[in-house]
Structure 1
Amino acid sequence: MNSDQELLLKCRSGIKDAFYELVSPHLAKAYRIAFTILRSHHDAEDAVQNSLLEAYRAIMENKEIHNFSAWFHQLIVHRSIDLARKHLKEKNYAEITDILSFIPDHKNLPIDDLIDKEYKGELISYILRLDMKYRIVIVLHYYHDMKISDIAKLLNIKEGTVKSRLFQARNLLYRYYQLDRKEELH
Structure 2
Amino acid sequence: MKQGDQTALAELMDLYGTGIYRTAVLLMKDIHLAEDASQEAFIKAYQRIHQFTGQGSLYGWLLTITLNQCRTWMRKSAWRRLFYRAVPEETMIPRPTEVDHQGPEQSFLRQELLGQVYQLPYKYREVIILHYYQDLSVYEISEYLGEREGTVKSKLFRGRALLKNVLEKEEWQDEGSG
- 1:64 deviates by 3.5
- 1:69 deviates by 1.5
**What pairs up with 1:11-30 in 2 under 5 angstroms?**
12=3, 15-30=5-20
Q: Decide whether aligned partners of structure 1 residues 17 and 168 sit closer, same or farther in structure 2, where only a CA change above 3 A counts.
A: same
- Map Cα deviations across residues 30-83 of structure 1 (whole Å, 9 max, x no partner): 111011111112211121121111111112xx3234132211111111101111
Between the aligned residues of both structures, percent identity stands at: 26
Quick check: 1:37–1:136 contact (8 Å CA) kept in 2?
yes
Quick check: 2:31–2:92 contact (8 Å CA) kept in 1?
no
Quick check: 1:96–1:124 contact (8 Å CA) kept in 2?
no
Say which of 50, 70, 76 aligns to 2:66.
76
Say which of 173, 178, 182 aligns to 2:163.
173
Q: Decide whether aligned partners of structure 1 residues 103 and 182 sit closer, same or farther in structure 2, where only a CA change above 3 A counts.
A: farther
Report the RMSD for the aligned CA atoms in angstroms. Answer: 2.0
Match of 2:41 in 1: 51
Match of 1:95 in 2: 88
Helix, strand or coil: the match of 1:130? coil
Unpaired segments of 5 or more residues in structure 1? 1-7
Q: Decide whether aligned partners of structure 1 residues 29 and 173 sit closer, same or farther in structure 2, where only a CA change above 3 A counts.
A: same
TM-score, normalised relative to structure 1: 0.83
Quick check: 2:138–2:152 contact (8 Å CA) kept in 1?
yes
C-alpha separation between the residues in 1 aligned to 2:39 and 2:63? 13
Quick check: 1:100–1:117 contact (8 Å CA) kept in 2?
no
- Map Cα deviations across residues 142-184 of structure 1 (whole Å, 9 max, x no partner): 1101010111111111111111111111111111111112222
Say which of 44, 64, 85 aligns to 2:52.
64
Quick check: 2:138–2:153 contact (8 Å CA) kept in 1?
yes
Unpaired segments of 5 or more residues in structure 2? none
Runs of 4 or more, structure 1, over 4 Å off, are none
Between the two proteins, the alignment pairs up a number of residues equal to 171
Letter matched to residue 81 of structure 2: K
The answer to whether the aligner puts 1:161 opposite 2:154 as a matched pair is no
Say which of 78, 84, 98 aligns to 1:105.
98
Which structure has the bigger radius of gyration? 1
- 1:104 deviates by 4.3
Letter matched to residue 80 of structure 2: L
Helix, strand or coil: the match of 2:135? coil
TM-score, normalised relative to structure 2: 0.86
Helix, strand or coil: the match of 1:89? helix
